[in-house]
Structure 1
C-alpha cells in the first residue's frame, strides 16, 4: 500500500471546513490503496474548536505530533481580545482600528512571514526527515493556510527527494485579508517571492476552485488540479422552521458585510407586515462588530439571533431546517475564486441558497449551475429584494424548495477517489 505523509496545521480538536477537508480524505484514502500518515502540531493555538470531530479520526491512522511555538501567547499580553479577533480573521475597518490593533496587524504581516507558524518549519523538517526514511515514504502533501507548512514540504523535497503536492485551500497573496496586514513593500515582495517559490518547486498543486487554478497558471507550469471541498453526511429528515429563517453559517468578517441584503430586508419589513412577522435571521459563527453595527443601522436587530460557534452536527441540523441559506463573500475581484466549504453542505441540505458576492464569483455561479438557488452581485439590492419576495410567497404557500442537480461529484468519497488517482499518476 502506498504511504503518503500529510502535513497539516488544522486537525481535531480544531473546528472549521479546513479540518474537515483532510479529515475526510484521510478517512477514505485506505479504500483506494493509500495509507495516510498525518503530521500535526502537538500544542497548537486554534481560534475555534470542535471536540466532537476527534471521533471521526480513523483509529488505524498513524498521527504524528511535534511541539510548535506560536507567538500568540506573547501578543495576548498586549491585547488578548485584539489578538483573538485577528486570529479569527475579524479585522476592523481601518478607521475603527486602535493603535494596538494596527500594531498587531503590522507585526503579523511584516515580522512573521509567511505567518506566525513559521517557527514549526525547522524542527518539523528535522523530525520528518527521519520518518520519511524509516517509513519509506515517497509522497508528501502539505495543506495551507497556514502557508508556512508548504515551506516544510519544500525543504523535505530537497532533502529526501519525495514527490510533493501543495494543497491550497485558499490563495496566498490574493486572499482578501492579505492587503490589511500593513505590509511594507519589502514584506509584500517577500510574501510574493515565497508564494512563487512554492508554486515552482512543488511536483503538483491542488486548489479548490477553477479561478484559483487560472490565477496560479500565470505564475507556474507546475501541474494544477482542482479538488473542491465537499460534503460527507446527508442531513437527517427534519421539520422546517416555522418562521421565514435566513441562516448564515460561518464567520461574518468585516468586509463580508452584505449591505444590499440588509437594505432589502429593512425595506421589506417596513412595507410588508406579514414579512415582518415571519422574518428571522440566524447567524451561526463569529460575527464582526461592523456587521452588528449595520444590522442596528438598518433596524434589523429584533430579527437577529446570534447563535455563536456550533458543533458540526448542530450546523447540519440548522442547514437542513432553515428556509433560506445565506452564502456571502467579500465584494472584490480577489475573491472571485473563493468557494466557501459550506457551499457543498448547503447543496446537500436542499434548501434555497441566496448567494451574494463579487461579479463572476465562482461559488455563486455554481449555485445557479446546480439549480440550488440564486446568485446576486453584492450591489444588486433590487434583485435581492425581488428574489426574497418570490421566496417568501413560496414559503407562505409551503412550496419553498429546491432540488439541486449533479452534486454527487462533491461527496467526500468521490473527491478522495480523484485524489487517489492523482497520487497514483504522479
Structure 2
C-alpha cells in the first residue's frame, strides 16, 4: 500500500521557470517507489511566466490542493505599475523585487520596497501564507493523514509551514533546499537591520535543527549548513533545546545531497529544433545580467574577424528571460545580426533547442557563491550530450561535474585565450567531447526520486 507525502511548494504548473521543475518531476516518479504525493501550493501565485504544457507532466496519482495566497508585492506592483517587470527573476525566492536590481536604485519606491522585503516580509514575501496554511493543513491532515512532509524552498516560508505542522503533529519532515537561505547571493545586498539579520539566522537554524532530514542540491550547500550549525554551537547562541536539537556531529547523518536532474521522457524521441546552418551557440532559461559572459562576446567578435568562415556561420540563440543588459552587450560587440532572442518558449521546445546546439552556454552569476552552484538547466544540457561552455570559477562544483561527465569546459569570467582556443577547435572539428553516459544517467529524475524515497 502506498504511503502519502505532503509536499509544500510555492511553484507548481502552470507556473513556469526553474523553480517548478524539481518537484513536478519528483512527484511524477515517487509513485513508482511507493509514495503518493499530495501537493499543497498557492491558487494565485505571483507567477511571471506560465507554461500550460507543464500540466501534462502531473502524474495521475498526484493530489493537488490549492489555496489562496495574499502577497504584499501584488498590491505594491499594482500601485507602482511595476507588475510583470521582474517576471522570471523571482525564482530564487526574492519576491517581485530583484534585490540586485534594487540596490542603489534612485527610486524612493524601489528603495522602500527593498527595505520592506528585507525587514518586514520575513523570511520572504510569502510570509502571509504561513498562518492560514498551517490552520488549513492541520484540519486537512486530521482527516487525511500523511506519512511524511516535504517543504521545498525558496521561498523559505514553505519550511516554516512545515515546521509548524511537524511541531504540532509530529509528522516526519524533510526540508528541501533548491537554493541557499542566508548564504544566497543576494542576501548580502539586502538593507537588513541587526534585528532582522538575527531573525533570518534564527529561522534558518531552527529549520536545520528541527527537520528530520535536510536535502540540498549540492554538497557545498550541505557543508555551508553544517558550518552554520557549528558556528551557532560555538557562539552558544541557541541557549535552549528545541525539538530535534543534538550535537552537530550527530546531525550530520540527516543531511543529504540530491541534485536536480533531467527527465529521460523529455528527451526520448524528440527531434532537434531547426536552426540555421552553421555554428550555433544556444542559451536557454533565465539569462541574468549578473551572469553576463563579457569575454565571450569579445572572443566571438574577434573570431568573426580573424577566423575564416566563422562570421558567416556563427548564430546565437537565446530562449527564456534574457536581461536587456545581455542583449545590449551582444549588440555592442557587433554581434546583433547573429542573435535571435526567442523569449520564453514552452519547456519541450527549449529541450529541442538544446539538442540542436553546437555549443550550449552556461554562465553562472559572477559571485563568490557560484562555486557551489549547479543550475537546473545544467542537467538538461547533460541529457542532450551536446558540448557545454560554462563560465564560473575554477575549482567549483560545476567544473568537477563537467570533468566527471566529460561534457564541456569551464572558463573563468576573465579568461580569453583558453575560451578562444576551445571555440576555434569545436568550430574547426579538431576538438570533440565524448560524454560519459553512465555518469550522466545518475541524474535521471527517476533515479533521483528513488534516492528521495529512501530518505522519506
Post-superposition shift, 1:33?
1.3
Please name the residue that 1:56 is paired with. 57
Post-superposition shift, 1:86?
7.0
Q: How does 1:103-182 map to 2 (within 5 A)?
A: 103-182=112-191
Note if 1:417 corresponds to 2:453. no
Q: For 2:175 and 2:404, how far apart are their aligned partners in 1?
A: 29
Q: For 2:20 and 2:418, how far apart are their aligned partners in 1?
A: 35
Q: For 1:383 and 1:79, how far apart are their aligned partners in 2?
A: 46
Post-superposition shift, 1:179?
2.5
Question: Please, which of 192, 197, 200 is the counterpart of residue 188 of structure 1?
Answer: 197
Q: 2:48 touches 2:87 (CA, 8 Å); kept in 1?
A: no
Post-superposition shift, 1:348?
1.1
Post-superposition shift, 1:108?
1.9
Deviations 1:355-380 (A, max 9, x none): 11123221232112100011112221
Any idea what SS the aligned residue of 1:162 has? coil
Q: 2:406 touches 2:433 (CA, 8 Å); kept in 1?
A: no
Q: How does 1:3-402 map to 2 (within 5 A)?
A: 3-81=4-82, 84-85=85-86, 88-89=89-90, 91-92=100-101, 94=103, 98-220=107-229, 221=248, 222=251, 223-232=254-263, 233-235=266-268, 236-238=270-272, 241=275, 242-394=277-429, 402=434
Deviations 1:27-73 (A, max 9, x none): 11111111211111111111221111112112232111211101222
Post-superposition shift, 1:95?
5.7
Could you say what the CA RMSD is over the residues aligned between the two structures, in angstroms? 2.0
- Label 1:83 to 1:71 Cα distance change in 2 as closer, same or farther (>3 A): farther
Q: 2:394 touches 2:410 (CA, 8 Å); kept in 1?
A: no
Q: For 1:75 and 1:86, how far apart are their aligned partners in 2?
A: 15
- Label 1:408 to 1:330 Cα distance change in 2 as closer, same or farther (>3 A): same
Q: For 2:187 and 2:87, how far apart are their aligned partners in 1?
A: 12
Q: For 2:409 and 2:219, how far apart are their aligned partners in 1?
A: 20
Structure-2-length-normalised TM-score: 0.87
Q: For 1:78 and 1:380, how far apart are their aligned partners in 2?
A: 45
Any idea what SS the aligned residue of 1:420 has? helix
Q: For 2:82 and 2:448, how far apart are their aligned partners in 1?
A: 38
Q: For 2:44 and 2:304, how far apart are their aligned partners in 1?
A: 48
- Which 5+ residue runs of structure 2 have no aligned equivalent? 91-97, 230-247
Structure-1-length-normalised TM-score: 0.93
Deviations 1:88-127 (A, max 9, x none): 2454385665444333222222221111111110011011
Any idea what SS the aligned residue of 1:407 has? helix
- Label 1:93 to 1:367 Cα distance change in 2 as closer, same or farther (>3 A): farther
Q: 2:48 touches 2:84 (CA, 8 Å); kept in 1?
A: no
Q: In terms of mean alpha carbon deviation, does 200-209 or 269-278 score higher?
A: 269-278
Q: For 1:107 and 1:289, how far apart are their aligned partners in 2?
A: 26
Q: For 2:310 and 2:216, how far apart are their aligned partners in 1?
A: 41
Please name the residue that 2:436 is paired with. 404
Post-superposition shift, 1:87?
6.2
Q: For 2:455 and 2:12, how far apart are their aligned partners in 1?
A: 23
The count of aligned residue pairs is 420
Q: In terms of mean alpha carbon deviation, does 55-64 or 401-410 score higher?
A: 401-410
Q: In terms of mean alpha carbon deviation, does 303-312 or 84-93 score higher?
A: 84-93
Q: 1:42 touches 1:65 (CA, 8 Å); kept in 2?
A: yes
